[in-house]
Chain A
Amino acid sequence: MNDVSYSLAELLIVAMAQAWRHDGEVMGTGIGPLPRLGVSLCKALYNPALATTDGECWYTTDPLPPGGRTADAEIEGWSPYDRVFSGLWGGKRHALVAPVQIDRFGQSNISVIGDHARPKSAMLGARGFPGNSIHHPNSFFFPQHNRRSLVEGEVDYVCSAGYNPARYPGGKVLPGVDLRLIVTNLAVLDFGGPEHAIRLVSLHPGVSFDEVQDNTGFELVRGESIPVTPAPTAEQLALIDRLDPKGARRKALKDDPPGDRRGA
């Protein structure tokens, strides 16, 4: 057993690092400090061919740490938005993003809460979600797993397409839709259920199935036995510390909670 203490943020980084593990040489994008560290860790541990950018317009040889400066990094390529679009249309990218809502079809929302014409809350707009969702693999991060984020029915405004046949011409989901992982503060989920239904992959230490199901607006597919999300090893923790020298992971979640909630 692993008796190293670790934070929830560190557990999530290790869980997210699995996302790009078998992707080969693609653009790995993580939006937000923890997903970004997930890409960095994946590149260091599993998939050295991953290509990452500084979030502006340069590919860097090594993933830039959160809060790091491009000027201190070796630049290995140019990534203006025009080329980002061309690349993603070709499918050579896997993004892990943090939307506001997701539903049982894997459809996600970052645009509005409420009515589109006169929203209760106007947020970003659809950004690149519609195109991303039908062209390359996508995974998701929800720091607050609850019924407001994993919603009943459908999300308020479908920005990224999912496995909902009714929304496509001829009732057929586009072959480019390829949804992979959902990492939350409670569990790891994937789309491995019947007809890509969302399935529980693992529970974080100290979290019960009922707690996850109660905080989810749709029914989760569950297996006979559900494993516990693997704790970070001492080596992984040391690596994360090197990839995040400024400690952005400690400010990413409110109060930086511990990763093991057994006996809490």
Chain B
Amino acid sequence: MLDKRMTIEAIVAELKDGMTIGVGGWATRRKPMALVRAIARSGLKDLTIVSYGGPDVGLLAAAGKIRKLVFAFVSLDHYPIEPHFKAARQAGAFEVLELDEGLFHWGLRAAAMRLPFLPTRIGLGTDLVKQPELSKTVVSPFADGETLIAMPALKLDAALLHVHRADARGDVLTLSPDPFFDELMARAADRTFVTAERVVPTAELDIAANSRFNIIERALVTGLAEAPFGAHPTSAAPDYQLDLAHLKTYVDAAASTEALAAYRASFVDVDESAYLAAVGGAEAVRGLPKPIY
């Protein structure tokens, strides 16, 4: 029987220095944080990270893993400015390709369609087009003759996603109300690795009732790991909500190198069970109140 289950460490071992990696979710929602923490612990380096950024970007920036960041924003929503990202960016720690949120989507879509680019007006009139990647234009071959930006395909070596449920074959469900752009990330990537809150028998996915939550077909999934609370401190609603108190601990860790080292020792350089205990345990996380956006 097809069985794609593997450990988080085994997934990280499939990644290589210099890879371009897409991270699913959006800001403080459904980020594959258990995988991100494992990458932060690993020897990986010189990564190009492609993300609708939240603490995934901040944590990898603080760990010195990023050579280039492809982004439209990095934010913790309730803390609009991501302090670890801010510090690394101001130190010139990595190069960037700054995009519009929709342009980002368009680049993933081009890669998903195996096109070199998709035309768009987005970026015209702004400083985004001063970046070499966005400096190419195409002229409409039709009567309008309009000049458009050629948004290059955002091709990924790997996509990392966190879902609510999966079976061993890689059939998945994301149960939160917004699927974000995880589907396009998977389609833009050579390989997709998934963490799931729970791995269950196929019948329990009840795909017929949950069809709209089945964001990708299993052929796109290379490997998966069960990772309960694997999105924490971001949310995996309805299973659990954003941990605002932990977010504050994480934000405060940007105050000094000592504070960051202490955060790392407690919450990054530990295995997932120690992590869960350090953030208050399963019951506390399950009981987190829904934040207000």
A residues sitting closer than 8 Å to B (CB atoms) are 54-58, 67-71, 78, 80-82, 85, 88-89, 107, 111-112, 116-131, 133-135, 157-162, 164, 167-170, 173-174, 176-177
**B75 to nearest A CB, angstroms?**
6
A115 — nearest CB in chain B belongs to which residue? B92
Which of B85, B124, B179, B180 touches A168 (beta carbons < 8 Å)?
B124
Output the nearest chain B residue to A111 by Cβ-Cβ distance: B98
Residues of chain B contacted by A176 (CB below 8 angstroms):
121
**Complex contacts, B178 vs chain A, CB 8 Å:** 56-57, 80-81
- B103-127 CB contacts (< 8 Å) to partner A: 103, 105, 121-127
Is A131 within 8 A of B122, CB to CB? Answer: yes
> 15 interchain pairs (CB within 8 A)?
A81-B178, A85-B102, A119-B90, A122-B81, A124-B73, A124-B74, A124-B80, A125-B53, A125-B98, A133-B125, A161-B126, A167-B125, A167-B126, A169-B124, A169-B137
Q: Is B147 at the interface (CB under 8 A from chain A)?
A: yes
* A116→B292 CA distance, assembly (Å): 32
Are A126 and B72 closer than 8 Å at their CB atoms? yes
Residue of B nearest to A58 (CB): B177
Contact A130 B73 (CB under 8 A): no
Task: Choose among A56, A68, A69, A134 the residue that contacts B125 (Cβ–Cβ < 8 A).
Answer: A134
A131 touching B101, Cβ below 8 Å: yes
| Among candidates A54, A70, A124, residue contacting B81 with C-beta atoms closer than 8 Å | A124
- Interface residue? B142 (CB, 8 A): no
The smallest beta-carbon distance between B71 and chain A, in angstroms, is 6
> Could you tell me which B residues sit within 8 Å of A by CB distance?
26, 53, 71-75, 80-81, 85-86, 89-92, 95-96, 98-103, 105, 121-128, 130, 137, 147, 177-181, 290, 292-293
A134 pairs with B124, CB closer than 8 A = yes
Question: Which residue of A is nearest B131, CB measured?
Answer: A116
Consensus secondary structure, chain A interface: loop
Asked whether, in the complex, the Cβ of A174 is within 8 Å of the Cβ of B124, the reply is yes
Q: Which of B98, B103, B290 contacts A69 (CB 8 A)?
A: B290
The answer to whether A125 and B74 have CB atoms under 8 Å apart is yes
How many whole Å from B89's CB to the nearest CB in chain A?
Answer: 4
- How many Å from the CB of B131 to the closest CB on chain A? 8
The 8 Å CB contact of B99, one of A68, A117, A126, A135, is A126
Query: Contacts A82-B181, A116-B98; is A121 near B125 (CB within 8 Å)?
Result: no
Chain B CB count within 10 A is highest, among A78, A122, A168, A177, for: A122
Chain A hits for B130, CB < 8 A: 116
Nearest-CB distance from A84 to chain B (Å)?
9
Of the residues B73, B103, B121, B293, contact of A54 by C-beta under 8 Å: B293
Identify the closest chain A residue to B137 (Cβ): A169
- A55-B293, A80-B179, A126-B72 as given contacts; A116 in contact with B127, CB under 8 Å: yes
Decide if A177 touches B125 in the complex (CB within 8 Å): yes
| Residues on B with beta carbons closer than 8 Å to the beta carbon of A71 | 290
Q: A54-B293, A57-B178 are in contact. Are A118 and B92 (CB under 8 A)?
A: yes
Q: For A162, what are the chain B residues with a Cβ–Cβ distance below 8 Å?
A: 125
Contacts of B121 in A (CB 8 A): 134-135, 174, 176
Q: How far is the CB of A75 from chain B (nearest CB, A)?
A: 10
Cα distance, A160 to B128, chains bound together (Å)? 10
CB-nearest residue of chain B to A88: B102
B74 touches A168 (CB 8 A): no
Please name all residues of chain B whose beta carbon is closer than 8 Å to the beta carbon of A70 when the two chains form the complex: 290
Residues from chain A with Cβ under 8 Å of B80 in the complex: 124
Q: How far is the CB of B80 from chain A (nearest CB, A)?
A: 6
Kindly report which residue of chain B lies nearest to residue A155, judged by CB atoms: B127
